[in-house]
Amino acid sequence: MDVLVAKFGGSSLSGASQFEKVANIVRADERRRYIVPSAPGKRYSSDTKVTDLLYQCYHLASGGTFPKEEFAQICDRYREIIHGLDLDLSLEDEFQVIENHLKTCPDEAYLASRGEYLNGRILADLLHFPFLDAAEVICFNKRLSFDAHRTQDVLSARLKTMEHAVIPGFYGADPDGRICTFSRGGSDITGSIVARAADAALYENFTDVSGFLMADPRIVDHPKVISTITYHELRELSYMGAGVLHQDAIFPVRESGIPINIKNTNDPEARGTMIVPVAPPDPGRIITGIAGHNGFSFITIEKEMMNNELGFGRRVLTVLEDNGISFEHLPSGIDTMSVVVASAFIGEKKQTIIHEICDAVNPDHISIEDGFSLIAVVGRGMIRTQGTASRIFDAVARSGINVHLIDQGSSELNIIIGVKDEDFESAVRVIYDAFND
């Protein structure tokens, strides 16, 4: 029988009623054998996620103040869930362990992981599934980096002994047993890791939307759902800000060719979005999606005959590296070189960077301009379709928006444009409309 691994996000497990929906989904298909929960998310717009409360607890405790109010909110959230589900379960001993940790040796990763850990305990009790602590099977090395090879060996061997299990997301442990976490949203990664170890036929990722949308619904009204998207397309869109799935969740399942299905906990019958290794172009759709975000700066360097100057680009990038700055894009001409970087990395280093680049390459002119946004138009159908770029630029031009950067990847899977921050949302809307008449 095929095995399905199902991960449920924070909105899917924010309260007792959501837990009941999750239980019904799991019980509806006996192939759903391994379940990965996130920590409780927001119950309403002004609510606070449990993980955010845990981070607040850490910052207060590490500064010498016991977070009495914040910790009480966390405990009460779990008590309410247990009471609402009418479970014969107590987490009071667990709360005491966490409280003692806060008072004695607060560790950020340990505290941040407790949201998933406690939710996993509740979900395992509700489903009558064994609870498998991620600290036992998700392995990090002594450098606190994820150890994929050891995890695959340890986790796959453990799952072979278990018909069912609830494995909390987001965290694991190093060889000494110290808790380590992935970046925020890392429960998606755990689900992918479990799917690979279980040799799953499908990795289901349940959230609060019925699939991956073509554009940000906060910008475009009622954007269409993407029915099928490739790993590569998703990576491009996730990197540029599309946030339904953690971008690193692709890697474990890609090695085994396991598809991912983005589904809605509140509408489980909806097809959602299938994320697959490869897929033919959709005849009715040229682009797959549009994503982007603001907060970029353009470093522009001009120098005659720079193309004949050996090592010119390397010396410029070395200056950025020495200042701890990575670059996003590198569009260039014969006598010009532009470097796109996140403005947050530059901060107060702007004059230092200008001075050091001048020393390194002696440019004729150099400037750093802030306030730009990048927009990625992504689609496997773009490769074989003539006039895609012209449709993008015609739509933007007709709206009076000036394009400051144009960049296309060698795979011809995406076109990236740079616009001023004030034009960002308008540009996304007109590009979306150009391909969804």
Q: Sign of torsion, CA 246 251 252 255?
A: positive
| Residues 125 and 204 occupy one common structural domain | yes
For all residues of the chain together, what is the average pLDDT?
92
In a domain, residue 353? The reply is yes
Centroid of chain to Cα 99 = 30
**Percent of the chain residues past pLDDT 90, beyond the cut:** 75
Q: How would DSSP label each residue in 321-358?
A: HHTT--EEE--B-SSEEEEEEEHHHHGGGHHHHHHHHH
Looking at per-residue pLDDT, the higher value among 236 and 73 belongs to 73
Asked whether the predicted pLDDT for residue 243 surpasses 70, the reply is no
Burial-class residue 362 by CB neighbours within 10 Å (0-12, 13-18, 19+).
Answer: exposed
In a domain, 186, yes or no: yes
Question: How does pLDDT run across 105-137, given as a tens digit for each residue?
Answer: 899 999 999 999 999 999 999 999 999 999 999
Instruction: Give yes or no for residue 437 having a pLDDT over 80.
Output: no
Query: What pLDDT does residue 411 have?
Result: 65
CATH number of the domain where residue 124 is located: 3.40.1160.10
Domain membership flag for residue 283: no
CA distance 119 to 40: 7
Looking at 21-35, 72-86, 332-346, which range is the least confident one? 332-346
What tokens does 1 get?
């029988």
CB 42 within 8 A of CB 286: no
Give the residues across from 262 on adjacent strands.
205, 273
What is the pLDDT averaged over residues 415-424? Answer: 93
Same domain, 191 and 338: no
- Domain membership of residue 281 (yes or no) is no
Question: Is the same domain home to 81 and 216?
Answer: yes
- Which residues, including other chains, have CB under 8 Å from residue 436's CB and lie 6 or more apart? 214, 224
Same domain, 113 and 248: yes
The verdict on 145 and 192 lying in the same domain is yes
Instruction: Specify whether 336 is located in the same domain as 208.
Output: no
Provide the pLDDT for residue 234.
Answer: 84
Question: Nearest to residue 382, comparing CAs of 281, 284, 237?
Answer: 281
Residue 335: give its domain's CATH number. 3.30.2130.10
Q: Is residue 48 part of a domain?
A: yes
CB atoms within 10 A of CB 277: 14
Q: Which among 249, 276, 303 is the end of a domain?
A: 276
pLDDT for 381: 79
Count, residues in the chain: 437
Number of domains in the chain: 2
> pTM value?
0.86
Q: Does pLDDT of 239 surpass 80?
A: no
Q: Rounded to whole angstroms, how far apart are CA atoms 436 and 378?
A: 14
Mark whether 201 and 127 lie in a shared domain: yes
Within-domain flag for 99: yes
134-181 per-position pLDDT tens digit: 999 999 999 999 999 999 999 999 999 999 999 999 999 999 999 999
Residue 174's identity, in one-letter code, is D
DSSP string, 40-107: ---SSTT---HHHHHHHHHHHHHTT---HHHHHHHHHHHHHHHHHHT-----HHHHHHHHHHHHH---
Residue 245 has pLDDT above 90, yes or no: no
User: How many whole angstroms separate alpha carbon 192 and alpha carbon 146?
Assistant: 13
pLDDT at residue 235 is higher than 90: no
Other Cβ atoms closer than 10 A to 58: 21
Q: Is 320 left (phi over 0), alpha (psi -120 to 50) or beta?
A: alpha
Question: Closest by alpha carbon to 114, among 136, 127, 99?
Answer: 99
Tell me the pLDDT tens digit for each residue of 390-400: 899 999 999 99
Range of the domain at 92: 4-276
Residue 409 has pLDDT above 90, yes or no: no
Q: Are residues 107 and 240 in the same domain?
A: yes
Contact 326, 345 (CB under 8 A): yes
User: 243, 276, 309 — which closes off a domain?
Assistant: 276
Last residue of a domain, one of 217, 246, 276: 276
Strands 365-378 and 289-302: antiparallel
Band of the pLDDT at 426, cuts 50, 70, 90? very high
Q: What are 22-58's pLDDT values in tens digits? A: 999 999 999 999 999 999 999 999 999 999 999 999 9
208 and 140, same structural domain?
Answer: yes
- Do 205 and 312 reside in the same domain of the chain? no
- Which pLDDT value is given to residue 333? 81
Mean pLDDT of 280-305: 88
Q: What is the pLDDT of residues 351-395, one digit of tens each?
A: 999 999 999 999 999 999 999 999 999 988 787 778 888 899 999
Co-location of 121 and 36 in the same domain: yes
Distance from C-alpha of 335 to C-alpha of 208, rounded to nearest angstrom: 49
Q: Give me 407's structure tokens.
A: 């960049």
Residue 112 lies in a domain: yes
Is the same domain home to 82 and 184?
Answer: yes
- Token pair listed for 172: 């694991």
In a domain, 127, yes or no: yes
Q: Is 417 helix (H, G, I), strand (E, B) or coil?
A: strand
Banded pLDDT at 410 (limits 50, 70, 90)? low
* Tens of pLDDT, residues 193-210: 999 999 999 999 999 988
Q: List, in sequence order, every residue forming a beta bridge with 5; answer none if it has no partner.
A: 34, 203
